[in-house]
Amino acid sequence: MDTMTLNGMKFYGYHGVFAEENKLGQQFWVDLVLRMDLEKAAQSDDLNESINYAELHALTKKIVEGPPCKLIEALAGRIASSLLQTYTGIHELTVRVTKPNPPFDIHFDGVVVELRRKRDEHGQIVPV
């Protein structure tokens, strides 16, 4: 399988356990690693043989900037499920969501959740 990676997408969302997070919002960073067959696209130079990364970005943005989740695990799960349901050419993916400024009195670069999902031999979406 080949890989397409979208790194460092930044969105503003209202996810979190605390009411202040849901009201004020904050930035979230999302990375996607998609495993799929890109051989036809590489040979033909035809976007129809690949997945348009602008569309991947737009769908991810819609989810992150949409209805809030309490947990970034749930947010990552929404992204993974939506991308796999929308783009059947994706065999496996990794979704990494970073919450760079969690509301705690500690100093670090953020909290990161990473989910890996794939299609099994029956086309069902399962954890890797």
Q: Report CA 34 to chain centroid distance, whole Å.
A: 10
Q: Which of 10, 23, 70, 99 is catalytic?
A: 99
Q: At residue 90, what are phi and psi to the nearest 5 degrees?
A: -80, 120
99 is catalytic: yes
Q: What is the residue-wise DSSP string for 49-79?
A: GS--HHHHHHHHHHHHTSS--SSHHHHHHHH
Catalytic residues: 99
